[in-house]
């Protein structure tokens, strides 16, 4: 293996550099992964969000939608082997604290810890000892690396949609038809929403929204009265205007979910009496837990939420500045932008016979086990495993229940 590798370093959206550093040497309990694909996330280009860390560290490498191959395994790591195709999460919750136990895992303080070095925009990443147990998922042979890079984004969307459940037979409005909005539309469709509206200011993204399952698309500037009133509103556009509009769109007793944040200084006014009478649930969602990611993997693997059509661009690491520019300033048909740091085939699948594309599962994400929408207790996991076994016998697979 080469002693040196290339990595991308982010300073600003218009200043992303390619530099060289030594390939990290792993310790006995660590793993080295050759990155095949890493998605550029909306949060990677949120300059206001990244600036404090940049000031502290100089350039940063925020790549976290990582799929690749394990190329070195420390001698005390027994659950992974060289050659394993994997998806790597850079962070995850502790699983032990009160927030984790009540199903609010991504609010866990431990989510701030990073378990990989230097980040997915590099030829190789090291997974630290603390990341081995919870931070690595095996990628099914039937899935491509590119699909693997969509697992984390879909995991975040699964959490968002679950918090606003049930979706079945409810009307849905998705504000913003970038990648996150399109994944919300696809998932709401799979969950049986009665009618899905998509709003964006970009006509080509609305075409993608229609293809993803929206019943009605609205080219909007978010002026008064433009948007429908619905049972479930998802804000997937990082704009103060979108947030304000969303407040007007939720039906009595509905859910309003903020998936996107629009900068540190914006305050949102709330008409207290109106909302007191209407009683919508207003929620916020951030990140994905390991369980969310496993569910995302299953939804992609089974074809329930296809994501291939959302990946429009794959860049070499040397072109990372161009990739960030396109992600931050979408043009043409651009949706999801990937980096392929080793120039490998993003579409390659595994050669084993372990997994075959399955029949579309029955999606039953709507069960709520607690007031906050969703708790996964050990009993739930057991129920889920039993449910899967029974439904497999009956020729169906239920992946979320
Ligand atoms: Zn992301
Ligand atoms: Zn925790």
Per-residue pLDDT reduced to its tens digit, 33-55: 999 999 999 888 877 777 777 77
Which-ligand-closest: CA of 99? 2
One domain, residues 17 and 142: yes
Count the domains in the chain.
Answer: 3
> So what's the pLDDT on residue 251?
97
Q: How confident is the model at residue 57 (pLDDT cuts 50, 70, 90)?
A: confident
Question: Which residues are within 8 A (CB) of 126 and not within 5 positions of it... i.e. 6 or more apart?
Answer: 24, 26, 30, 31, 32, 33, 116, 117
Question: How far apart, in whole angstroms, are the C-alpha atoms of residue 336 and residue 238?
Answer: 16
One domain, residues 254 and 330: no
Residue 67 tokens, joined: 């799929």
- Does a structural domain hold residue 69? yes
CA of 2 to the centre of ligand 1 (A): 29
Which-ligand-closest: CA of 90? 1
CATH number at residue 143: 3.90.180.10
CA of 101 to the centre of ligand 2 (A): 7
Q: How confident is the model at residue 224 (pLDDT cuts 50, 70, 90)?
A: low
One domain, residues 146 and 16: yes
- Does a structural domain hold residue 202? yes
One domain, residues 249 and 387: no
Collapsed DSSP state (helix, strand, coil) of residue 276: helix
Q: How far apart are the first and last CA of the chain?
A: 45
One domain, residues 140 and 67: yes
One domain, residues 56 and 183: no
CB atoms within 10 A of CB 378: 7
One domain, residues 56 and 82: yes
Question: How far apart, in whole angstroms, are the C-alpha atoms of residue 249 and residue 225?
Answer: 9
CATH number at residue 243: 3.40.50.720
Helix, strand counts (H, E) of the chain: 12, 16
Which-ligand-closest: CA of 89? 1
Which-ligand-closest: CA of 110? 2
> So what's the pLDDT on residue 223?
60
pTM to 2 decimal places = 0.87
For the segment 79-96, what is each residue's pLDDT rounded down to a tens digit? 999 999 999 999 999 999
Q: Is the pLDDT of residue 389 over 90?
A: no
For the segment 273-306, what is each residue's pLDDT rounded down to a tens digit? 999 999 999 999 999 999 999 999 999 999 999 9
Give the residue from 118, 116, 226, 234 showing the smallest Cα distance to 170.
234
Q: Is-contact 278 229, C-beta < 8 A?
A: no
CA of 91 to the centre of ligand 2 (A): 12
CA of 64 to the centre of ligand 1 (A): 6
Question: How far apart, in whole angstroms, are the C-alpha atoms of residue 227 and residue 245?
Answer: 8
One domain, residues 142 and 222: no
> So what's the pLDDT on residue 327?
92
Report which of residues 197 and 362 the model is more confident about.
197
One domain, residues 117 and 227: no
CA of 292 to the centre of ligand 2 (A): 15
Give the residue from 16, 5, 77, 4 showing the smallest Cα distance to 337.
16
Q: How confident is the model at residue 397 (pLDDT cuts 50, 70, 90)?
A: very low
Q: Is the pLDDT of residue 267 over 60?
A: yes
Which of 8-17, 27-36, 102-111, 247-256 has the least mean pLDDT? 8-17
For the segment 225-262, what is each residue's pLDDT rounded down to a tens digit? 679 999 999 999 988 889 999 999 999 999 999 999 88
Residues of the domain holding 17: 4-150+307-340
Q: What is the mean pLDDT of residues 389-401?
A: 39
One domain, residues 123 and 8: yes
CA of 139 to the centre of ligand 2 (A): 25
CA of 296 to the centre of ligand 1 (A): 13
Q: Is the pLDDT of residue 395 over 60?
A: no
Mean pLDDT value across the chain = 87
CB under 8 A, 24+ apart: contacts of 48-54: 48/263, 48/264, 49/261, 49/264, 50/10, 54/10, 54/11, 54/12
Give the residue from 228, 221, 225 showing the smallest Cα distance to 174.
228
CA of 148 to the centre of ligand 1 (A): 12
- Does a structural domain hold residue 357? no
Which of 140-149, 348-357, 358-367 has the least mean pLDDT? 358-367
Q: Is-contact 214 196, C-beta < 8 A?
A: yes
One domain, residues 231 and 325: no
Which-ligand-closest: CA of 97? 2
Distances (CA, A) of 291 to 123, 151, 298: 27, 11, 11
CA of 335 to the centre of ligand 1 (A): 14
One domain, residues 113 and 165: no
């Amino acid at each position: 293996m080469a002693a040196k590798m290339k990595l991308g370093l982010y300073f600003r959206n218009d200043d992303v550099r390619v530099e060289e550093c030594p390939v990290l040497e792993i310790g006995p309990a660590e793993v080295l992964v050759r990155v095949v694909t890493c998605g550029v996330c909306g949060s990677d280009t949120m300059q206001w969000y990244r600036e404090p860390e940049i000031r502290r560290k100089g350039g940063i490498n925020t790549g976290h939608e990582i799929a690749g191959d394990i190329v070195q395994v420390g001698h005390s790591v027994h659950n992974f082997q060289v050659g394993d195709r994997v998806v790597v999460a850079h962070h995850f919750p502790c699983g032990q604290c009160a927030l984790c136990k009540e199903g609010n895992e991504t609010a866990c303080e431990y989510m701030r810890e990073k378990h990989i070095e230097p980040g997915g925009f590099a030829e190789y990443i090291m997974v630290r000892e603390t990341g081995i147990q919870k931070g690595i998922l095996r990628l099914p042979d039937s899935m491509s690396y590119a699909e693997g890079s969509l697992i984390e984004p879909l995991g975040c969307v699964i959490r968002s949609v679950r918090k606003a459940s049930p979706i079945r037979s409810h009307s849905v409005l998705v504000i913003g038809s970038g990648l996150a909005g399109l994944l919300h539309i696809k998932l709401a469709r799979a969950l049986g929403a009665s009618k899905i509206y998509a709003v964006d200011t970009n006509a080509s993204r609305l075409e993608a929204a229609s293809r993803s399952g929206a019943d009605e698309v609205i080219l909007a500037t978010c002026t008064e009265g433009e948007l429908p009133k619905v049972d479930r509103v998802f804000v997937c556009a990082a704009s103060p205007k979108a947030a304000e509009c969303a407040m007007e769109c939720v039906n009595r007793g509905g859910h309003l979910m903020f998936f996107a944040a629009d900068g540190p200084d914006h305050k949102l006014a709330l008409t207290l009496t109106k909302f007191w009478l209407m009683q919508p649930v207003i929620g916020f969602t951030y990140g994905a837990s390991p369980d969310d990611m496993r569910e995302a993997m299953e939804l992609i693997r089974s074809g329930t939420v296809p994501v291939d059509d959302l990946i429009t661009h794959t860049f070499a690491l040397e072109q990372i500045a161009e990739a960030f520019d396109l992600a931050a300033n979408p043009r043409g048909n651009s949706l999801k932008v990937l980096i392929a740091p080793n120039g490998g085939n993003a579409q390659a699948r595994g050669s084993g016979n372990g997994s075959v594309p399955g029949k579309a599962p029955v999606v039953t994400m709507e069960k709520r086990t607690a007031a906050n929408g969703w708790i996964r207790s050990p009993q739930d996991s057991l129920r889920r495993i039993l449910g899967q076994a029974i439904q497999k016998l009956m020729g169906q697979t239920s992946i979320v229940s």
